[in-house]
Amino acid sequence: MGMAGRVGLVTGASRGLGRVIAGVLAARGVDLVIGARDAKALGLAAGELHEQGSAVVAVAGDVTDASVRQRMIDASRELGGLDFVINNASELGSIGPLSRFDIPGMGRIFPVNVGAPMALVQLALPMLVRRRGLIVNVTSDAAIAAYPGWGPYGASKAALELLTRTLAVELREQGVSAVIVDPGDMRTRMHQKAFPGEDISDRPLPEVTIPFWQWLFAQDFAAISGRRFAAREVHAEWQQPA
């Protein structure tokens, strides 16, 4: 299903899951604004995505920086608007028991995982309303299960989930939808940071989620708004050819 003329914004898109999501959108003809901190990796990703035929604007910088978020929104406006906002950028933080966790050391966890997505949605909202768009907030099973050492990260994702459900209710009358997606454990740089020195080659690559994303972007967004999806679960509805 082609989506020529639509525009998507994807954070954390230089590699891993964000790069996969951007690739699915580009394959459908969606023009893209992609963001990440690593300017070199982001530029390489932009070049690859552009080869698929989409217009691609790369905005390098930290998503917690208000000026970086504004540049993303300005670039989206120049492309014609916004149909999708994919808040994928995440901060794991340090792993350790809460009884010994350095509270000031939470540092970037909540600003990246909760504050930045909400701030970006606020900026994007006028365009999303005009296009009856979709907000996708990427979460983790750490938001609903108590994993030792993962408390602050899990708490930030739990907060993001509640805020997403609230957005879905608050924005329904304006025609904007919001969903939560848990991609599951994957072989990514962030996941390797959680298990330093360990072999995580048994985890699948982020490409395992492609059938889900193909299914998601073809849906009636209003009909699925407010739902939480586990992208690696096998469901007949999203295993069909897109």
Active site residue 147: no
Single out the catalytic residue among 110, 150, 153, 213.
153
Backbone angles phi, psi at 93, to 5 degrees: 75, -175
- Whether residue 11 is contained in a domain is answered as yes
Indicate which CATH number applies to the domain containing 85.
3.40.50.720
For the stretch 179-199, pLDDT in tens is 999 997 755 555 545 555 665
Residue range 20-59, pLDDT digits in tens: 999 999 999 999 999 999 999 999 999 999 999 899 999 9
pLDDT at 242: 38
Q: Is residue 2 situated within a structural domain? A: no
Give the pLDDT confidence score for residue 192 in this predicted structure: 47
Please name which of 121, 42, 84 lies closest in space to residue 216, comparing C-alpha atoms.
84
The candidate with the shortest Cα–Cα distance to 34, out of 15, 52, 147, 53, is 15
Domain count for the chain:
1
Question: How far is the first Cα of the chain from the last one, in angstroms, to the nearest whole number?
Answer: 7
CA dihedral 231, 235, 240, 241 (to 10 degrees): 20
Considering just the CA atoms, what is the radius of gyration of the chain in Å?
17
Tell me the mean pLDDT in the region 226-235. 84
Q: Is residue 1 part of a domain?
A: no
- Helix H or strand E segment including 26: helix 16-27
The per-residue pLDDT for 43 is 97
Domain carrying residue 153: 7-238
